[in-house]
Amino acid sequence: MERLLSYPHAMIAFYILLVIAGVLGFQSLPLKLFPDTNRPMVSVIVQWPGAAASDVARDVTHPIEVRMSAIDGVRKVTSTSRDEVSAVKVEFEYGIDIEDAAMRVNTELPRVAGSLPEGIKTPLILKITDAARPVMVLAVRAADGYDLNLG
């Protein structure tokens, strides 16, 4: 340490370079109003009118899950099957653009469409981002004994 102190000009030049690198790095940081703090997620929702939850899980949800889990960059696939509705959520690794993730899902869906039953509606692809989530959810309730009339 004492040897470094014997070269004050070199140390000053090093610190000046360090400050310049920090300023340049700070200026290159992206600035977003709502930065994405979660992994990119894409949801696929398929409606099958008149189908029971067990049929939806077996004939719609499972084939979509298998196909989506084969996409590059997928971290986890979760799903929910209810009467007439299948919802498959595909979570991607950090660093993958949400638009690219949605495009990957969109290109894989036609490959599984042949194994899906007839009568299903066109799958709906939703991009799940932090900007799409509400910041706050408020509820209004009338006090006991009062009717709430907003019109």
Domain containing residue 111: CATH number: 3.30.70.1430
pTM of the model: 0.65
Output the CA–CA distances (angstroms, integers) from residue 19 to 8, 25, 30, 117, 118, in the order listed: 17, 10, 19, 62, 64
123 with 82, same domain?
yes
Between these two residues, 26 and 4, which has the higher pLDDT value? 26
Between CA 24 and CA 58 the distance in angstroms is: 54
Domain of residue 117: give its range: 41-132
CB 128 within 8 A of CB 95: no
CB 36 within 8 A of CB 98: yes
pLDDT-derived band at 141, boundaries 50, 70, 90: confident
25 with 52, same domain?
no
27 with 54, same domain?
no
26 with 46, same domain?
no
Inside any domain, residue 149: no
- How confident is the model over 45-101, as pLDDT tens digits? 999 999 999 999 999 999 999 999 999 999 999 999 999 999 999 999 988 888 999
The pLDDT value recorded for residue 140 is: 73
Residue 101 tokens read as 């993730």
9 with 47, same domain?
no
148: Cβ contacts below 8 Å, ≥ 6 apart: 140, 141, 142
Using only the alpha carbons of the chain, give its radius of gyration: 26
The pLDDT value recorded for residue 55 is: 93
